[in-house]
Amino acid sequence: MSLIKEQDYGTPAKPGEATVAVEIDGKSVLVPEGTSVMRAAAEAGIEIPKLCATDNLDPFGSCRLCLVDIDGRKGSPASCTTPVAPGMKVRTQTPELAELRRGVMELYISDHPLDCLTCPTNGDCELQDMAGVVGLRDVRYGYAGENHLDLETDSSNPYFDFDSSKCIACSRCVRACGEVQGTFALTIEGRGFDSRVAAGAGGSFMESDCVSCGACVQACPTATLQERSVVELGMPNRSVLTTCAYCGVGCSFKAELRGDEVVRMVPYKDGGANEGHSCVKGRFAFGYASHPDRQLKPMMRERITDEWHEVEWEEAIGYVGRRMMEIQTRHGMGAIGGISSSRCTNEEVYVVQKMVRAAFGNNNVDTCARVCHSPTGYGLKQTYGTSAGTQDFKSVDKADVILVIGANPTDAHPVFGSRIKRRLRQGAKLIVADPRRIDLVRSPHIEAQHHLRVMPGSNVALINAMAHVVVTEGLVDREFVAERCEDFDQWEAFISGSEHSPEAVEEITGVPAAEVRAATRLYAGARNATIMYGLGVTEHSQGSTMVMGMANLAMATGNIGREGVGVNPLRGQNNVQGSCDMGSFPHELPGYRHVSDDAVRTAFETLWGRTLQSEPGLRIPNMFDAAIDGTFRALFVHGEDIVQSDPNTKHVTSALEAMDLVVVQDLFLNETSKYAHVFLPGTSFLEKDGTFTNAERRINRVRPVMAPKTGKHEWQIVCEIAQAMGYPMKYDDSAQIMDEIAITTPTFSGVSFAKLDEVGSVQWPCNDAAPEGTPIMHIEGFVRGKGKFVETLYVPTKERSTRKFPLILTTGRILSQYNVGAQTRRTGNSAWHPEDLLEMHPHDAEVRGIGDGDTVSLASRIGETSLRVKIDDRMPVGVVYTTFHHPVTGANVVTTEHSDWATNCPEYKVTAVQVALKQPVTAQSAQTRAVPAMAE
């Protein structure tokens, strides 16, 4: 495949029907009202020269290259800023226009380095292309005049250079930073000849607010902003369309390669989830895939205190199969199990759960979604009938009010965060419910109408208070409720109780009652109001209750079943949705069907040729408890570092130490592999062949850009372990696995690799009833029939602050790093976040004598760790925050065994802690280890 180049229409498409007829160079074209002449020409197959225009930015009209003549109009207007009019006749090529364009190009080139042959973008430069298009042969002004050729290059960013000498001041980068990313880190400083692009207040890119999303690099028509990988490796010569392996947004990318070497990842304009945008992780942080730390051969050892020794695949797989069976013989069928990974493909996850159910003969399979969004699955299934978000990302473009609860999209789901910000700049209103003043609360051109600074652990009290206001202030959509829902009367009586009023719970939530009432009126009074939520909802002892509480609120106000509304989980990892869909939970077969359902089980038994267990298996925390109890003895861990990511590290390691066999499959040796007997090397997303399903249920293809560096696909390894245990499990390729998923899973019955190659992506359900997929769910009715109102009693967590542990710790992510950091720590992203920091309010720091950058001890009743402090008033008094990206910190050493009552999702968001000064930052260490600016 050669390089994929999407057509650039110059200006954005306008909505609506094509009703305006114009004639361009004699060609007729019909376009929607408001379309630019430039875009209309492009749609008619006529390219007008341009430099400052590109179709993901509003027209700017600065380069003067796209001039056209229009019958009946004076002069030569810029086609990018001129909208079409009925009957308009346009000429794009005349001798006069050609002369004007050559003149413009002469001016540009007179102040541009003429080093095309050695320029990294030679052959991929719009300035170079336009010089050719306009027929520039000579620059009459010469090159000796005043110019910008001596300006220095800013190489402060780890991934791209800013060579100001090549800048033509077209403002595309500045506009991309604002319009696409919404950060507004770039500006044009100076006037006239002195105009130049500047980052922030004139410092370097790294010193500015730049979030390194890459939008400016993508927008630059010259080599001014250029990926360093292109400078070092040269221009790529082929593209492979694939899907990012970081967060649940699931951005589509063009992997651009020279041979088998990835030169750069460029966001794909036609990607349904990202529409051409990216973040610092997906765009740049792919170097881990070829990092020398990768272990490419299997390894074994008898005891976890022994040294590893490399073995051949056959020996490793044979050993795993044999030991698993021996352990079952000695300790019973239920003594072994597996954990599937939300970082792996649907196909890989499907075979892992199949191996457990059919070859292991039990249901002891769980997934890392257990520790993030399992309450989403439970809560939305109880209320709406399906374990997934209701909307596509695009739906937010129609929202009038956006309620963000317990999520930090600009850090954890950055591309969707940019989409939210764009909608807010268009006028939508924002309510944020979060203890921290997250970036969305106030950033350039955005300010939340209400920041409900809810105390960790009191979400349910807050959502109940909002529902109480809806019910008692006459804000219920009675028609929707009567037609679409059930159990409303009972719920209404429950929620109307005065104990749920904002005033009654003000002390619990910490949110002033008047603020709750005002925010609720805003939400309930909107034409379209949508809820976006994240792990700040789920990772609580009442995570499932809170999900149901949000579902109640959306139903009560009629905000379900159309564009611009809904209840939407922002999934943490790339394939959390898919791993759940694929039957990774111990009580559910693929498609969220309970293992006790005889008809469903019989269908799988017939296809798989094995009798399946009808009882649920162990969840991850149950596995640990059972291991310590001695009844669970062997675990296959697929692509998850449970020692670093799961709560109460000591409990996890004790469980692993108690097991007879721990098998880890991953890219790198990690904290969990320290307790493993067998290490099976895994494949990066650049080697995988399969699909990921993102947070909007969009199934995207993951295409291999190179063969597995380990010699085997992960699904092959899993199949071979099953075979070693006597269960015949074999596929020719991953497409065949998807075909089996489609046969067995009604919501996937219309999905195949061929279909995805044809249409790009689909959102499940994709079946006979919805052959092109389902962007928005519950339009005519809920999946379960009627939407169910559930009484959501607020029950305080058992984790309380005490005199000994007076602060509440909450944990989360930061933009530049990803989960346990196995991937991002092995990239340039660590330039932004080289260590986990403890964010603390100035008051809490002051009373403890702690200064910015000091090293402190962080202790809970479970354990203790140490890390440095970042004093920040975005934290509320009494609450501290840290990330869990670095094993050296081990934030989960302090988190507890508390979990969601329904799903056992850990309560990462509430841990009572004490913080004490351990090591003041010295003047010298302050200079050498300055606290890096937090990338937000």
How far is it, in rounded angstroms, from Cα 130 to Cα 127? Answer: 5
Quote the least distance from Cβ 495 to another protein, whole Å.
11
Instruction: Give the number of other CB atoms < 10 A from CB of residue 877.
Output: 13
Quote the least distance from Cβ 795 to another protein, whole Å.
5
Would you say 665 or 911 has its CB closer to another protein? Answer: 911
Would you say 590 or 617 has its CB closer to another protein? Answer: 617
Quote the least distance from Cβ 275 to another protein, whole Å.
39
Quote the least distance from Cβ 549 to another protein, whole Å.
12
Would you say 459 or 761 has its CB closer to another protein? Answer: 459
Q: CA geometry: angle at 80 spanning 79 and 86, to 5°?
A: 60
Q: What is the dihedral of CA 540, 542, 546, 548, to 10 degrees?
A: 130
How far, in Å, are 102, 103, 139, 581 from residue 135 at the CA level? 7, 11, 12, 57
Quote the least distance from Cβ 488 to another protein, whole Å.
17
Would you say 486 or 897 has its CB closer to another protein? Answer: 897
Would you say 237 or 611 has its CB closer to another protein? Answer: 611
Would you say 218 or 622 has its CB closer to another protein? Answer: 622
Q: Are 533 and 568 in contact (CB under 8 A)?
A: yes
Would you say 330 or 594 has its CB closer to another protein? Answer: 594
Quote the least distance from Cβ 594 to another protein, whole Å.
7
Torsion angles phi and psi, residue 869, rounded to 5:
-105, 140
Q: Are 839 and 882 in contact (CB under 8 A)?
A: yes
How far is it, in rounded angstroms, from Cα 616 to Cα 365? Answer: 9
Enter the tokens of residue 331.
Answer: 């300790």
- CA Rg value for the chain: 29
Would you say 171 or 792 has its CB closer to another protein? Answer: 792
Would you say 331 or 929 has its CB closer to another protein? Answer: 331
Bridge partners, 914 (sequence order)? 859
Quote the least distance from Cβ 839 to another protein, whole Å.
23
Q: Which helix (H) or strand (E) holds 623?
A: helix 620-629
Would you say 279 or 902 has its CB closer to another protein? Answer: 902
Quote the least distance from Cβ 490 to another protein, whole Å.
11
Q: Are 584 and 344 in contact (CB under 8 A)?
A: no
Instruction: Give the number of other CB atoms < 10 A from CB of residue 483.
Output: 11
Report how far apart the first and last C-alpha atoms of the chain are (Å, whole number).
Answer: 37
Q: CA geometry: angle at 49 spanning 43 and 53, to 5°?
A: 75
Dihedral-angle region of residue 425 (phi above 0 means left; psi in -120 to 50 means alpha; beta otherwise): alpha
Quote the least distance from Cβ 414 to another protein, whole Å.
34
Would you say 103 or 630 has its CB closer to another protein? Answer: 630
Would you say 586 or 812 has its CB closer to another protein? Answer: 586
Quote the least distance from Cβ 229 to another protein, whole Å.
47
DSSP string, 878-925: TEEEEE---TTT-GGGT--S-B-TTT--B-TT-EEEEEEEEEPPPHHH
Q: How far is CA 137 from the centre of its chain?
A: 48
Quote the least distance from Cβ 234 to another protein, whole Å.
55
Quote the least distance from Cβ 540 to another protein, whole Å.
12
Footprint of another protein on this chain (CB under 8 A)? Answer: 334, 364, 494, 541-542, 545, 586-587, 594, 596, 614-619, 621-622, 625-626, 631, 648, 651, 791, 793, 795, 798, 859-864, 896-897, 899, 901-904
Bridge partners, 197 (sequence order)? 188
Quote the least distance from Cβ 474 to another protein, whole Å.
25
Would you say 1 or 795 has its CB closer to another protein? Answer: 795
> Pick from 456, 408, 367: which is nearest to 646 by CA?
367
Could you give the 3-state DSSP secondary structure of residue 116?
helix
DSSP string, 653-674: HHHHHH-SEEEEEESS--TGGG
